[in-house]
Structure 1
Amino acid sequence: MDKDYFQIGENLNPKVRWYLKFVKLSRFFKIKEVAEQINAKVGRIDNRRGPLDDDAISQIVENLVVAKIARTHLSRKIKRFKLKGRANPRLHELRRDIESTSRPFDELACAIYKEKHYRMRNNPALLFPGFVPDGNEAFYLLRKAFLKYGSAYYINYPARRFHKEVVFHQILDLILDINNRKIKHVGKKGSPFLIGTSFGCSVIVNFLRWLNETGNIDRVQIRGVALISPVLCLDDVVDSATKRQKTLVGRAISNLVGIDPNDPEAVAQAMKKARAIFQKMFVSGRDFLNFTSKDLIPVFSIEDEVLAIFEQDIGSDSGYFHRYLDLKDLEPLTNSYLSNVPTMVLFAEGEGDVMAPNSPTLKSFSDINTLKTIFPDGKVEFVYSKDPSRKVTHSDLIFQAERFIEHLDPWLEGLTL
C-alpha cells in the first residue's frame, strides 16, 4: 500500500488539522482531491531526495495545504476586468473587420484580470508576461511590490492567435480609463506603470512605438516602465550565426525556425520539442527548492498551474506559436529616441544562459549611454543572487522573485512620492 503522507501530516501536525477545519467551513476546495495531489507530490519528493522523516513530511504537508488555501483565496480575489465605457472607434472597426472573416473577435483579445488592494493609490500596474506562464502566475510573487501603489492588472494573452493591433487598442483603452478616473480619497487621476518581462517587454516597447506612430502618445499618462529581462526580437534568444545553439532556450526556439506555419503537423512537432525543453528548465529550478521552508509557500501555490501549461498540446493556431511568429517578425530596436517615460531595465546575472551571445537588446540596454538615447530617463541594473550556488537567471520571477523586488521597490517608491 502506498504511503499516506497527507494522513501523516494531519495526525502529527495540529496546524494542518486547524487548516482543514477552516477549509471544511469555508468550502474552499475538496479535501479528498487535495489529499491525493499532496500524496503524489510528497511521494515524488520522497523518491527523489531520499527517505523523508515524519517531521519533514508534516512540515511539507502543512506548507502545501497553506499554499493551496492562499492560491484559492487569490483566485476568488482576482476578477476578470472589462471596461464599462465604450471602446474607441478603431477597436469597433477592428471587431467588425475580424468578425466579417468568421473569426470570433474575443479569440484575439487579451483577458485582463484585476486585483484590487485596500490601499487607495493612483499608480496601478499593468503586468505583461513572457511566453509562459500567464500574467496571473508570472507576476504572482512580485504582486506585493506593485499593490502598494494601486491595483494590479494581469494581461493574459489570447489562447489562440495574436493580433498586435487588438492588444494595443485594449491597452490604450485601459490606460485612458485609468487616466480619466479620479481615485477616491486621493484626489488625483491615475497614471499606471507598465511592467513587462521577457516577451512582454516587446509588447510594451512596440506599444510605445505604436503610440508615437498613431499620434496617441500625447493622450496618455504613463508613470513608468519596467523591462525585466527584455526580449525584443528573435536574435535575442536564437544565434542566427550558427545552427548549434548554446542555450536551452535557443535550442527550444530554434526548433521553430524554418518550419512552415501552414503545416500543422510540423508546427505541433516543433512545439512539442520546445515545450519539453521549457518544462525541463522549470522542473530543474523547482528541484532546488526546500519544500520544508515556509518562505517558499508562494512558489508552491503556483507550481501546479505552471506545470499544467507544459502538458497542453500546442498547435499551429495556438497563441504561443503566434507570439513566436510575432517575435520572429520584429527587428532589433534601433538606438534612437522612443520615450521619455522613466524606465527601469533589469537584467539577471545569468542572462547569458538564456540570451543569445550577440543579443542586440542585451548589448544596447546594458550600456547606459545607448539606453539613454532610447529612454532618456532610463536606468539599468543587474540582479544578483545571494546564494553562491545558484545564479539569478533570465526572468526568474518565480524562484528568485525577492532579488528582483529589491531593485523594483526603491524605483517604484521614488516615482510615487
Structure 2
Amino acid sequence: MAGLVLPRVLRTVAGHPALVEVACAAAGLLRQMSIKPFHPSVRKRELELRDLVSLHACRALVFKEKGAGNVPTIVVGGFVPDATEQVEFQRSLLREYGSIYYINYPRHGFSTELFFAQLADLIEAINNRDQKPVLFGVSFGCGLIARFLQENRDSKLLRIRGVVMASPVLCAEDLIRPVREKGEGVRMLESNLRRILGRADNDGEGIGRQIERARKCFQSLFEIGAQNRSLSSRHLSIKKKIMQVIEETPAVGGYQRVLALKQFVRPAGERPIFWGAALTLLAEEEENLLVPTSPTLGLLGHPQQRKTLFPNGVVRRVISDVAGDAVAHASLIFHHRCYNPLIREWYENLLPAKLSEAV
C-alpha cells in the first residue's frame, strides 16, 4: 500500500509550492536535530596556531551525528556543498557503523595548516574513546586528506581505520591543464579556476569577478545534476542549503580554498598515501569534470601505480543502472543508489579486522 500511496503524495506535494516549502523545512529541521555542533575534547594543535592564524575567519566548524557502531566516520567535503550535506544520502548507512563527524569549511577564509590541526585534534579525541575513524573525502576533500596523511607529522601518531576517496582531486592538475594543452575542449570549471589563479593576490576586484563566475559554475553543475529528476523533499532541502553556501561564501573564502588546491602536491606514484584499508570510488563520467591529462586518474587507472598509492586499497567504478543517467563526478546525492552498495561492502570488510584486533 505504501508503494502506491507515496508516489501520489510526492506528486501532490510537488505540485503545490507551499507544501514543498513545508516539506523542505521539515526535512531541514529533522537534520538539524540529528546533526549537532561538536567541540572536540582535544584542541591543543588548533590553539597553538591562534597567534599565527585568524581562528575566527579560518576555523572550520565540526558537527557530530550519533551512530550505533564503533567505526566512526569523519567527512571532508568538496568545494561545495558542506560536509553536512555532502553525504545526506549516505548518513543512515554510515550511522550503522558508528558516529559521523562532519568538518564544514569556514566561509570567510581557509588555512590548510589550521584545517590539519583541527583534523588531528578530532582524530586524537576519537582515539581517546578507543575508536579509530574512517576518513571519508569527496573531490577536493580527498586532496586535503592525502596531503594530511603524507605531510603532517601527527598523522603518523594517530590511529586511522581506513580511508574512502570519492572522485579524488589530489592536485590542481586534475582540474587545470597547462595552457598549451587544449585537446578535447575546455571544461567550465577548468576555465574558472585558471582565471582565478591568474589574478594577482592584490587584485581584489578581479578575484571577486572570477569568484562570482565560479559561483555560477557550481550552481550550474548542481542544476545540471538535478535536471529531469523527481526530487524529494530531502533533495530540495539539500539544494536550498547548497545554494545558500554558494551565495554566502565571500570572494576571500572561495579564493583561499582555490589557493589550497594549488598547494596540493601532484602524486608521483612512488610512495603510499595510506597503508591501511582504502576505497577509491570513481564515477563513470569522471573525465567530464577532470581533465584528460589528470595525474590522479592516470595513476588510479594503472594497476601497479594504484597499488603504490594504496597498497591495501581497492578502486571501484560507480556505474549507473539507468540508461542515459550516467554517474557524474562526486554525484553522491543524485546517484546514492549506485554508491551506497559499494560503500556498505567496504565497511563490512572492515569488521573482521576489528574482531581480530579484539581477540
TM-score using structure 2 length = 0.89
Counterpart-to-counterpart distance in 2, 1:139 and 1:311? 20
State yes or no: 1:201 paired with 2:142.
yes
Question: Are the equivalent residues in 2 in contact too, given 1:252–1:275 (CA < 8 A)?
Answer: no
State yes or no: 1:273 paired with 2:213.
yes
Counterpart-to-counterpart distance in 2, 1:170 and 1:54? 44
- Counterpart code for 1:230: P
Report the CA distance between 1:336 and its aligned residue. 2.0
Counterpart-to-counterpart distance in 2, 1:255 and 1:116? 42
Question: Are the equivalent residues in 1 in contact too, given 2:176–2:194 (CA < 8 A)?
Answer: yes
Which of 234, 258, 265 aligns to 1:298? It is: 234
Question: Are the equivalent residues in 1 in contact too, given 2:107–2:248 (CA < 8 A)?
Answer: no
State yes or no: 1:76 paired with 2:33.
yes
2:119: which partner in 1? 171
Report the CA distance between 1:248 and its aligned residue. 2.3
- Higher mean displacement: 190-199 or 281-290: 281-290
Secondary structure of 1:222's counterpart equals coil
- Counterpart code for 1:330: F
State yes or no: 1:311 paired with 2:247.
yes
Question: Are the equivalent residues in 2 in contact too, given 1:193–1:225 (CA < 8 A)?
Answer: yes
Q: Structure 2 matches for 1:146-157, cutoff 5 A?
A: 146-157=94-105
Counterpart-to-counterpart distance in 1, 2:81 and 2:63? 14
2:309: which partner in 1? 374
Counterpart-to-counterpart distance in 1, 2:224 and 2:86? 17
Which of 244, 248, 253 aligns to 2:188? It is: 248
**What percentage of aligned pairs have identical amino acids?**
30
State yes or no: 1:259 paired with 2:199.
yes
Counterpart-to-counterpart distance in 1, 2:97 and 2:10? 40
Question: Are the equivalent residues in 2 in contact too, given 1:255–1:274 (CA < 8 A)?
Answer: no
Counterpart-to-counterpart distance in 2, 1:60 and 1:116? 35
Counterpart-to-counterpart distance in 1, 2:81 and 2:136? 15
Counterpart-to-counterpart distance in 2, 1:236 and 1:251? 13
User: 1:238-285: per-residue Cα shift (whole Å, max 9, x none)?
Assistant: 121447552222123222131112211000101111211221121122
Counterpart-to-counterpart distance in 2, 1:309 and 1:177? 28
Counterpart-to-counterpart distance in 2, 1:147 and 1:67? 22
2:276: which partner in 1? 341
Structure-2 change in CA distance of 1:241 and 1:255 (3 Å): closer
Counterpart-to-counterpart distance in 1, 2:48 and 2:224? 46
- Counterpart code for 1:178: I
Counterpart-to-counterpart distance in 2, 1:55 and 1:166? 44
Secondary structure of 2:193's counterpart equals helix
1:141: which partner in 2? 89
Which of 248, 259, 274 aligns to 1:325? It is: 259
2:355: which partner in 1? none
Equivalent pairs counted in the alignment come to 342
Secondary structure of 2:305's counterpart equals helix
Report the CA distance between 1:73 and its aligned residue. 1.3
Q: CA RMSD in A?
A: 2.3
Report the CA distance between 1:302 and its aligned residue. 0.9
User: 1:190-212: per-residue Cα shift (whole Å, max 9, x none)?
Assistant: 1100000000001100110123x
Secondary structure of 2:317's counterpart equals strand
Larger Rg over CA atoms:
1
1:220: which partner in 2? 158
Question: Are the equivalent residues in 2 in contact too, given 1:79–1:115 (CA < 8 A)?
Answer: yes
Which of 317, 335, 338 aligns to 1:403? It is: 338
* Unpaired stretches in structure 2, ≥5 consecutive residues: 353-359
More relative contact order, 1 or 2 (CA 8 Å, 6+ apart): 2
2:50: which partner in 1? 95
Report the CA distance between 1:308 and its aligned residue. 2.2
